[in-house]
Amino acid sequence: MISIIGAGPSGNYLAYLLAKQNKNVHVYEDHKVIGAPIQCTGIITPELETLIPIKKKFLTNKINQAKIYSPNGNALHVRFQKEDVIVNRTKFDSCIADMAKKAGAKYHLGSRFEDNVGKKMKINGKIIKTDALIGADGPFSRVAKSNGMWCDRQFVTGNQVTVEVDCDPKLVEFWVGIGLFGWLVPENESIARVGIVSYVHPELYLKKLIDKRCPKAKVLSKEPGAIPIYNPKQILQKDSVYLIGDAATQVKATSYGGIVHGMKAAAVLARDMKHYQKNCRKEVGRDLYLSLLLRKAMDRFSEQEWNNLIALFSKEKLRNVLETKSRDYPTKFILDLIFAEPRLLKYGRKLLF
């Protein structure tokens, strides 16, 4: 029996892949509704299509453009070769869970993992035996804590509201210098998700962004949440216990999105559980590590450096790389950027100082 704790995208996708192999899979979810509460912008790159089909039942919108605003108000306008998708996370998570159920996985909602000793775990006070335990239970993973796999993890805070606002339904907007960065992700021409990521003072930075972009907007909902910072030393595998997704800090630090990388880690685990940690560090960890280095460099940028960098990326050669290459895999495009504009190398000093 394989027990997966958490019915988010990574856990559900793993359940689906293992159930297709005729494994005895059980998914335990603390909440009574899959995909709730929502703590996500819901924007996913086209890489999602390499994992699962895009279905209308969870698709909210598609975007093909982005504007990135520098502190001085100038903007880089990017037109994507392939559209990003905006999903309804509740429906998205539920859709993947339905795929897993049809493949034979069993789901237990309202079932709280408390701890485990070896292959005996406690769910809602009941002892259940399992052959393998997978923690897909989010940034504050109880599975990680119970098995000495916490690894001194650190977090940023995401703070988002859904608002009524006039916006271009095909354009996502970003602001650097408000917290780590801020965004407006459109659901349609009159509703958008507006939020920020920051190390400190998330309420202050969210208010700053709202005052700047949509000061009179009606707030429809609020979705704050902690986001793990990728830890390259994170233990992913210990005896018969494994971690994936946010529970494994598998989040790219450039944008703090983790759906694609968490689902890819699930695919790596489903393919070869014995060598999961080694394979995952190679197939998923390299891009996450490079994203972490890029984030550390960006955190050291002054406002003037951001202004200069965005002006530089407005040049056709660099803009073309952003428009055609996958943002999920910086190892595949970082050299293209440097070849297109060698002056970018000077920003590499931020990795050292």
Q: Identify the pLDDT of residue 352.
A: 53
Check if the beta carbon of residue 313 is closer than 8 Å to that of residue 67: no
51-87+154-227 CATH choice from 3.30.70.20, 2.120.10.90, 3.30.70.660, 3.30.9.10: 3.30.9.10
Question: Integer distance in angstroms from the first to the last C-alpha of the chain?
Answer: 49
Check if the beta carbon of residue 227 is closer than 8 Å to that of residue 251: yes
Tokens matching residue 84: 């990003």
CA 51 to the chain's CA centroid: 15
Q: Identify the pLDDT of residue 165.
A: 97
Instruction: Compute the distance between CA of residue 119 and CA of residue 35 in angstroms, rounded to an integer.
Output: 27
Q: What is the CA radius of gyration of the chain?
A: 20
Domain boundaries, the chain: 2-40+89-151+233-295, 51-87+154-227, 300-351
Tell the CATH topology of 2-40+89-151+233-295: FAD/NAD(P)-binding domain (3.50.50)
Q: Give yes or no for a cis peptide into 37 (omega within 30° of 0).
A: yes
Q: Identify the pLDDT of residue 224.
A: 87
Which residues, other chains included, contact 347 with Cβ-Cβ below 8 Å and sequence gap of 6+?
A: 297, 301, 305, 309
Question: pTM of the predicted model, to two decimals?
Answer: 0.96
| Domain 51-87+154-227 in the same topology as domain 2-40+89-151+233-295 | no
Q: Identify the pLDDT of residue 316.
A: 92
Residues of the chain below pLDDT 70: 349-353
CA distances to 3, 105, 195, 283 from 262, rounded to whole Å, are 17, 19, 22, 12
